[in-house]
Structure 1
Amino acid sequence: MRIGGRPVAARLRAGAPRLTREVLDRLPAELPAYAALPAEELAGDIAEIVQHTVRLFADVVEGRLAACDADLAPQRASAAQRAEEGVPLDAILTAYQIGVEMCWREITGQARPDELADVLALFADLLGLQRAIVTAVSSAYLEACRLAAGPEQSGRHELFAALLAGESADAVAGRTGMRPAARYLVLTLALAAHPDEARPGPCAVIAARRKLRRIRRALDAFTGAPALAALDPRGGTVLLPVDTAPGWPEVRALIAHAAHAADTAITASAALTEPTGIPDAVDRNAEVLRLVRGSGRGPGLYLLADVLLDYQLSRPSAALPGLAGLLAPLDRRPELLLTLETYLAHSRDRRATAATLHLHPNTVDYRIRRVTGLTGLSPGRADDLHRLNAALVARRTLRTDGVGGGLGGA
């Protein structure tokens, strides 16, 4: 098929990148729902589906065959994602109409009188593709809405709540009709905000939903089954059913992958347990995460084994005030306390400490000497190093528990 003296399919493929940019310029200008989408999403997911649709039109024109279900899988997946983000169905269908209109004008703008037959054939192909897209997009969108509110989703929520309550497998199965897995990987996640969540208006809500959707997708793919999860933009709890115990390097890789997919930092704690052990695992994970974040560690996966000393020292004990009191001489010198914490967090690397605090390394050395002079404890001595770390944990614990002022202790 040739229009304007040029093959239509080749012209569409060659012009796909430019047409995509032009469509993306029009969508936010004409559709408020698309104007509210994060810029990253317009330039990423939306741009990909626009370009795929233009190239699909080229394939239809070239082969004179209707688009099949496999051809329209990206459109269905995109529609389901927009449903999760709360983009109205009419806005999605109008967006496709804008794209179809622009393709039509692109190809027929230079049509000649003797090419009427090809123009009519092109029109028939375009109408057929548009009808297939509307059907695929509408059905996928409505199915996503149904699943979000349907009995299957409700059943998973009920199973999740029963497991968190520590009910037995038989009790859970009898009440929900769903039998728990033999064991679960229990994850507690703390999620950083995506930059788009700071934008005003609906964009922040959409960015948060997109972040959670990408994290859920990564978690579901790990086991091949939907995760049981209660997540909001700041984090939450996830239960992953597992047949065999995964290696911790695999779980670390999962958290790293989810963070990369969502373009956000994730700090996580994890435990592996049978169903009846889930409540204790959730509580322990939360404590591990509190200790990790309180000590200034970076994102990633942490296990109880990574914070054993902190965990033990954070238990209620008559020794805590005494340990915290080892650093009482620094109460009036917060810059020395901050330098000490940073110095120990960087494994006593003076240059890394200096870079973090924007100081000269010699200033770090001077401050650490002042810490030693005031407390009598030196990070360079093994016994003192243990005491300093323990004292810092004790201070954080007492501060978290609401013990005010008198950290000087006994």
Structure 2
Amino acid sequence: MVSDDARALALRCEARANSLARKLSREVFDGIPGYAELPAEVKDVEIAATVRHGVRLFLRGAVSPPAGPDGYRLFQERAARRAEEGVPLHLLLRTYALGVHGLWQVIREEAGPHESGAVAELVDLLLRAQTEVVGLVTERYLEEREALASERAADGTRLAHRLLDGGLGPEDGRQAGIDLDGPFLVLALGTGPAAPGGGPVGHRRRLRGLRTALGRTAGVGASVLLAGEPEGGDLAGRAVLPGCGEVPPGLAGLLSEGYGGPLYVAAVPARDAAGVPEAARTTEEIVRIARAGGLPVGRVHRLEDVLLEFHLSRTGPGSDSIAGLLDPVGHRPELLATLRSHLELSLDRRATATALGVHPNTVDKRLARLTALTGLDLSSPRGTALALAAQLLRETSRPVGGGDSSGGG
């Protein structure tokens, strides 16, 4: 509670609520960068009304019991609306700071020579009220922005899936602001040998990181479409970059940084929307080949980079026989996992051991056992080529993004 002098001063100040609101909304706030661009009805109606509400809420709270949570509801509603309209948070908070300063000036001007104590009481209340209001406004603004971002991400994901599946029609493209005549760059993003953990929360955070990284990519517009994949698969996501015909510089590094871990990045151009589904299938296969063939993570792989592996993974009269070379160890997931990691890591036994969490001697024993059971000698070029072909053919025969029996280890 405040003194009788402070309540009397607050009552005198309340009479100036309307004039203060007009002055702030028409003059003072104009000095804030970006405020002048707001529609006149927003400045003269909504913002002025919010100022009047805030001034009266504070001054009447000094006379009677302070306002409860309902009294601040208007501030929260207006904060949500400004977030929806895209008004920057710093602009919104500056209006509140200037409003507090304007009210302080009114208090100072209305106070008499012997009311310094009353002024101190009201200023103390004003600063405490500012802390409460700024906290509530910021929280509600950020909640609305997060909700809007989630909606846009969901819309973008649905749009990406339809484009990747070939189900996006001309009218859909016009509504989404996408030129279906192309060009497009289609990406597949594969998880590296040591994918980051974190469960569902970490997975959502990594997808947000990918979207942010794609948005920062040079030469790519705001219509980047990301189709996030389920947690736990070999694919972290697929993306379509409308209007982009070439791989932007530094793409793999930006995506790996946004994801929080190394990624296999495959890129295939498509001349128009009709070519996107086929390009998508090719990128997914390139990622699979890169993983099975031990190609490096953290760089962009194109079809011309994996022509030999792509050819080895093609099915033909001898495909079943080549893939069948690994049948004798089909029931030994630890041997298949070791082979896969060993090929993936360029036949480096120590790196393979680190990736699998075993001793290098264990890797040697497993590879020796695999050679004894299959006849594939990884110490010879021919044996390595056959093992690579067998592994690639086994990889291309299973669904993208799913698990396989060789995933343990």
Class of the TM-score when normalised by the shorter of the 2 chains? 0.5 to 0.7
* Aligned residue in 1 for 2:247: 246
Within-5 A mapping of 1:11-410: 117-127=119-129, 138=140, 161=162, 164-165=165-166, 179-180=179-180, 182-189=182-189, 194-195=197-198, 197=200, 204=201, 209-222=204-217, 223-231=220-228, 234=231, 235-242=236-243, 245-247=246-248, 250-260=250-260, 266-275=263-272, 276-292=274-290, 300=298, 302-305=301-304, 307-330=306-329, 336-357=335-356, 359-398=358-397
SS of equivalent residue, structure 1 residue 379? coil
CA offsets per residue over residues 135-160 of structure 1, 9 Å max, x none?
Answer: 6765675577578769x997996697
Distance in 1 (alpha carbons) for counterparts of 2:224 and 2:308: 32
Q: CA RMSD in A?
A: 5.2
- 1:195 maps to amino acid: G
Q: State the distance in 1 between where 2:311 and 2:362 align.
A: 33
Question: Does the aligned pair in 2 maintain the 1:193–1:233 contact within 8 Å?
Answer: no
Distance 1:274 1:319 in 2: 34
SS across alignment from 2:281: helix
Query: C-alpha displacement at 1:370, in angstroms?
Result: 4.7
Q: How has the CA–CA distance of structure 1 residues 350 and 303 changed in structure 2, closer, same or farther, with 3 Å as cutoff?
A: same
Match of 2:282, SS?
A: helix
Once the 2 structures are TM-superposed, how far is the Cα of residue 296 of structure 1 from its aligned partner? 8.1
Q: 1:364-410: per-residue Cα shift (whole Å, max 9, x none)?
A: 44554454455444222222321221122234445669xxx9xxxxx
Q: Check whether the contact 1:229–1:237 (CA below 8 A) recurs between aligned residues.
A: yes
Superposition deviation, residue 252 in structure 1: 0.6
Tell me which moved more, 238-247 or 127-136.
127-136
Is the contact made by 2:182 and 2:243 (CA closer than 8 Å) also made in structure 1? yes
Counterpart in the other structure of 2:98: none
How far off its partner does 1:313 sit? Answer: 3.1
Paired with 1:177 and 1:344, the residues of 2 have a C-alpha distance of: 44
When residues 121 and 233 of structure 1 are mapped into structure 2, their CA distance, relative to the original with a 3 A threshold, is farther
Query: Do the aligned partners of residues 366 and 140 (structure 1) sit closer, same or farther apart at CA in structure 2, a change above 3 Å counting?
Result: closer
Report the Cα distance in structure 2 between the residues aligned to 1:173 and 1:331, rounded to whole angstroms. 46
Residues 186 and 240, structure 2, Cα contact 8 Å, conserved in 1: yes
Count of aligned residue pairs for this structure pair: 294
Distance in 2, matches of 1:160 and 1:340, equals 34
* Structure-2 separation of matches of 1:143 and 1:336: 49
Identify the residue that residue 105 of structure 2 maps to in structure 1: none
Distance 1:339 1:159, change over 3 A: closer
Instruction: Tell me, in whole angstroms, the C-alpha distance in 2 between the residues paired with 1:362 and 1:178.
Output: 55
Q: Is the 8 A contact 1:313 1:393 kept in 2?
A: yes
What are the Cα deviations for residues 151-183 of structure 1, in whole angstroms up to 9, with x where unaligned? x99799669746752768x77666767534742
* TM-score, normalised relative to structure 2: 0.53
Give percent identity, aligned residues only.
30
Task: From the superposition, tell whether residues 70 and 253 of structure 1 become closer, same or farther in structure 2 (CA, over 3 Å).
Answer: farther
User: Can you list the C-alpha shifts for 1:245-287, whole angstroms capped at 9, x where unaligned?
Assistant: 234x511112112113xxx665543323232321211222233
| Shift in alpha-carbon separation, 1:347–1:241, aligned structure 2, 3 A | same
Q: Which amino acid in 2 is paired with 1:259?
A: Y
C-alpha contact 1:294 1:396 (8 A) present in aligned 2: yes
Secondary structure of 2:227's counterpart equals strand
Q: Measure the CA separation in 2 of the matches of 1:358 and 1:231.
A: 29
Note the residue ranges of structure 1 that are not aligned, 5 or more in a row: 1-64, 85-112, 198-203, 406-410
Q: 1:349 deviation in Å?
A: 2.5
TM-score (norm 1): 0.52
2-structure distance, mates of 1:353, 1:221:
34
- For the residues of structure 2 that align with 1:177 and 1:356, how far apart are their CA atoms? 44
**Counterpart contact for 2:228–2:237, Cα < 8 Å:** yes
Give the Cα separation in 2 of the matches to 1:165 and 1:328: 37
When residues 396 and 213 of structure 1 are mapped into structure 2, their CA distance, relative to the original with a 3 A threshold, is closer
C-alpha displacement of 1:319? 0.8
Aligned mates of 1:243, 1:337 — CA distance in 2: 39
Q: Is the 8 Å Cα contact of residues 310 and 390 (structure 1) preserved in structure 2?
A: yes
